[in-house]
Amino acid sequence: MTKEQKKTAEGLFNRQLHWRSVLLLLALALLPMTIMSVVYLSWPGRPTLLEDGFVVPEHTSVALEWHNNITGTTRTVPLEAEPGQAIRVVVGSGRPEQQTIDDLFRAGMKSRDDDVDHIQEREQVIKEGYGISIVENKLLPTGGSRFRFRYMKSTSPLMQALRRREGLDTVVSGVESEFDRFRALLVWVRAQLPAGVPNPYPRFNALEILDMTRKGETKAFCGQYAQVLVQSLISLGYQARYVGLESHEVLEVWSNDYVKWVVLDPFNGCYYRRDGAPLNALELHNLVCESRLDEIETVRLDPEVQRDPREQLGQYTTFNVSMVNDHPEQGRSGIEDVHSMWRRRVYWVDQYTRKLPVADGKLRLMTSFESDIYFNINTVNARFRAVAPGVVLVSLESFTPELDHLERAGDDGSWQRVADHFEWRLAEGANVLRLRAVNVQGVVGPVSEITVRFEVGCTGSDAIIK
């Protein structure tokens, strides 16, 4: 590294929680002694291509180590490499969607650390200026992933045909809570599909899967159960995505009730929860890898399933999340869908990862940052500018697929449409602002809330409430 690069890298210390360096740690267990070689690859403000290469010596283990110089934390992932194998490490510009090793390093350098910087930013309060201060901040973060997710629209002809033909509104009729609707749809899917090896393999299209299985032309395995449930959820305005395990396919649906992604396993007719709250794949992964199975409660929804769903928990030692759920619109065959779907899956890697996902000589997309795959949708966040005593300008932001409009709770508790920029006039004392998003199917997102206090008589210059 040149002196200029070192100086640039040192200047990154003051940036907000950005990863500024990556270490490639080569633990050379050469008998009879142990030799250690460390290669530092820094990332200046603008992408600068850096390369290094080596041949793996005998009796050598190779690991990728990401070190955060600000928090002091380190994440290590073992790399599979045979003695004598040549390895070239390239760090340069690129996109997270590209299947190259440089983006694996880039993930460590460019990612936020679990959105801590955004949380701290939102919790700043005004010490002086117009007598306005934050009392309680319950605003929900929005978005956060560096990967682009391709969403299937609920309004597409295919989704609406599925909804009408299968009477999905009737399936959830009279079911009050959102999560109970998810449960009702899972039970309905269980009743539609005969379990067995899908041969021929149907396209990722719920209507075709249902038609073919009902005619006895094929059967359904875990993938088909997941596809029918994902698309049924989407048709009603709920976003869901495929989750691949070691040798099993489940799904996660965004729950507005719990403000999180949660796992549903339609093939095994169940979901999992802890302390009464449903779990997502990462939570299950951590509990399984930490041998805390006794904390996982299995909720079985179909008594006809003879398999014990708890036997599937070992599958969660590894998992990936599909960043695509619009397969029916792609027009590919079932086999083509199977081969292509892995290109848009992001694999979770951490200290429990035994080997990195490699196929066709390429690393698959992967991340160690929770915000890349567990980002929020349907939430509303806000920025505020106090411009006069008791007057605050509000700017709203929301990452809501198929957003129809935003709403604000009135003083009487009723919800009213609101523009993404508006003026908030405060009364003396505590003032509460409650916000939510509504999509085109009328599905309501979780409520964001902030309470501020206004003291009459204070004056000052413009101040920003974040």
At a CB cut-off of 8 Å and minimum separation 6, what does 360 contact?
A: none
Beta strands in 318-379 (DSSP E): 320-322, 345-348, 358-359, 362-363, 366-367
Point out the least confidently predicted range of 362-371, 393-402, 438-447: 362-371
Q: Counting Cβ atoms within 10 Å, is residue 216 exposed (0-12), middle (13-18) or buried (19+)?
A: exposed
Strand partners, 55: 86
Mean pLDDT of 364-385: 93
Is residue 107 within 8 Å of 84, Cβ to Cβ?
no
Model pLDDT, residue 215: 96
Percent of the residues in the chain that have a pLDDT greater than 90, as a whole number: 55
- How far is CA 288 from each of CA 142, 311, 318, 356, rounded to the nearest angstrom? 29, 12, 10, 19
Topology alike, domains 125-144+376-465 and 157-373: no
Residue of 56 and 362 predicted with greater confidence:
362
Model pLDDT, residue 43: 33
Whether residue 61 is predicted with pLDDT greater than 90 in this model: the reply is no
Q: Counting Cβ atoms within 10 Å, is residue 286 exposed (0-12), middle (13-18) or buried (19+)?
A: middle
Distance CA 423, CA 12 (A): 38
Query: What's the CATH code, domain 125-144+376-465?
Result: 2.60.40.10
| Tokens 């391709």 belong to residue | 150
Distance CA 237, CA 89 (A): 44
Q: Does domain 157-373 have CATH number 1.10.3470?
A: no
* Mean pLDDT over the full length of the chain: 79
Domains of the chain, residue spans: 3-110, 125-144+376-465, 157-373
Check residue 147 and report its DSSP letter.
S
What tens digit of pLDDT does each residue of 275-312 get? 999 999 999 999 999 999 999 999 999 988 878 888 89
What tens digit of pLDDT does each residue of 80-132 get? 666 777 766 655 444 443 333 333 333 332 223 333 333 333 333 343 457 88
Point out the least confidently predicted range of 42-51, 140-149, 225-234, 261-270: 42-51
Mean pLDDT of 323-333: 82
Whether residue 396 is predicted with pLDDT greater than 90 in this model: the reply is yes
Helices vs. strands in the chain: H and E counts, helices first: 11, 26
Mean pLDDT of 153-168: 97
> Of 40-54, 79-93, 142-156, 430-444, which has the strongest mean pLDDT?
430-444
Mean pLDDT of 360-376: 89
Is residue 262 within 8 Å of 273, Cβ to Cβ?
no
